[in-house]
């Protein structure tokens, strides 16, 4: 259903508010560069510090700017099931193609709690849902068994896997019957993830290197292994640099170097250190994004 290079969009700000014009221009640029799908209001989009009105507005702006050219997978997760339902319903009403729903963070539900959380969402809202499994941020890790159980429900259509467990996509593919898209949430492991049966990546790096990321996935799908290997290796220094501090600090700075937005992130994310700025700039030069 979803595959290739998808981008976890940054949210540009201007004077502390959403830069609506800048955001829509950024969406249009992503599409023109070959990005296969757009994810507004994820972690990279600073969803934890967007209020509900801002969250909904960003989703609406993205859908409006994309004009149906690529799928929109709106981030609608929360550690409150009722809030996740509300945001998912809004995404459906706004015209999103799917919702990306993170495992509930901080309150640490059991595997049964995870199952019921997602079941209640899809019972209430008729919209495809991608599970976002990121134990490094949410603490809980959805097991392969729970994911396979959820995959039997209508509208549970895939996973964004940010576990860094490269046995996971193969184990999931063998455990889940029928169509179920597996999207990596870790740029640096994408080559191995695809080799283990993955379908694509919801990428941070694609914010600043969308054409290269699209080329990577297109070459994989076309079985052009020489191009795939070349671009995979070319991108690696950038993947590393964009996670030298907590995301989205580094990628916001990288985007500012391209003139795409201000590097401002809402607190508690703060401006990255000068040494980190040097690392990001050097990586962008090495990849060929800056002179």
* Interior angle at CA 286, CA 285 and CA 291, nearest 5: 30
pLDDT in tens, 83-124: 999 999 999 999 999 999 999 999 999 999 999 999 999 999
pLDDT of residue 90: 98
**C-alpha span between 180 and 163 (Å, rounded):** 17
| Mean pLDDT score across all residues of the chain | 97
| CA-wise closest residue to 187 among 129, 251, 131 | 251
Q: Is 92 a catalytic site residue?
A: no
Per the residue annotation, which of 92, 115, 118, 160 is the catalytic one?
160
Relative to beta strand 37-39, strand 73-75 is: unpaired
Domains of the chain in start order, with CATH, are 4-222 (3.20.20.70)
Other beta carbons within 10 angstroms of residue 160's beta carbon come to: 28
Active site residue 160: yes
pLDDT of 16-47, one tens digit each? 999 999 999 999 999 999 999 999 999 999 99
- Residues 243-253: what's their mean pLDDT? 97
- pLDDT, one tens digit per residue, over 178-188 is 899 999 999 99
Torsion of CA 28, 29, 33, 37, to 10 degrees: -50
Distance CA 140, CA 89 (A): 24
Total-model pTM:
0.97
CA distance 196 to 169: 6
The predicted pLDDT at position 259 comes to 97
The tens digit of pLDDT for each residue in 66-80 reads 999 999 999 999 999
**Tens digits of residue pLDDT in 123-167:** 999 999 999 999 999 999 999 999 999 999 999 999 999 999 999
pLDDT in tens, 263-284: 999 999 999 999 999 999 999 9
Q: What confidence score (pLDDT) does residue 1 get?
A: 81
171 band by pLDDT with thresholds 50, 70 and 90: very high
**Which residue is catalytic, options 56, 115, 118, 132?**
132
């Amino acid at each position: 259903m979803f595959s290739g290079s998808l981008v976890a969009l940054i949210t540009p700000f201007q004077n502390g508010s959403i830069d609506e014009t800048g955001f829509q221009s950024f969406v249009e640029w992503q599409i023109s560069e070959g990005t296969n799908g757009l994810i507004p209001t994820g972690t990279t989009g600073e969803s934890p510090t967007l209020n509900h009105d801002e969250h909904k507005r960003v989703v609406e702006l993205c859908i409006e700017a994309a004009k149906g050219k690529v799928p929109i997978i709106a981030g609608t997760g929360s550690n409150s099931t009722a809030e996740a339902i509300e945001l998912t319903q809004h995404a459906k009403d706004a015209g999103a193609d799917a919702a990306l729903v993170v495992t509930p963070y901080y309150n640490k539900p059991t595997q049964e709690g995870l199952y019921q959380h997602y079941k209640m969402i899809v019972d209430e809202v008729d919209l495809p849902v991608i599970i976002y499994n990121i134990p490094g941020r949410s603490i809980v890790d959805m097991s392969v068994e729970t994911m396979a159980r959820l995959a039997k429900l209508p509208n549970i259509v895939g996973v964004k896997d940010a576990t860094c467990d490269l046995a996971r996509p193969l184990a999931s593919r063998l455990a889940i019957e029928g169509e179920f898209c597996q999207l990596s949430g870790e740029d640096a492991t994408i080559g191995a993830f695809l080799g283990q049966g993955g379908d694509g990546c919801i990428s941070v790096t694609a914010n600043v290197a969308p054409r290269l990321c699209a080329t990577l996935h297109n070459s994989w799908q076309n079985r052009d292994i020489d191009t795939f290997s070349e671009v995979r290796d070319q991108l690696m220094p950038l993947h590393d640099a964009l996670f030298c501090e907590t995301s989205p600090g580094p990628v916001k700075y990288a985007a500012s170097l391209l003139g795409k937005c201000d590097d401002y992130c809402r607190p508690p994310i703060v401006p990255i250190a000068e040494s980190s700025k040097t690392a990001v700039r050097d990586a962008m030069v090495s990849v060929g994004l800056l002179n």
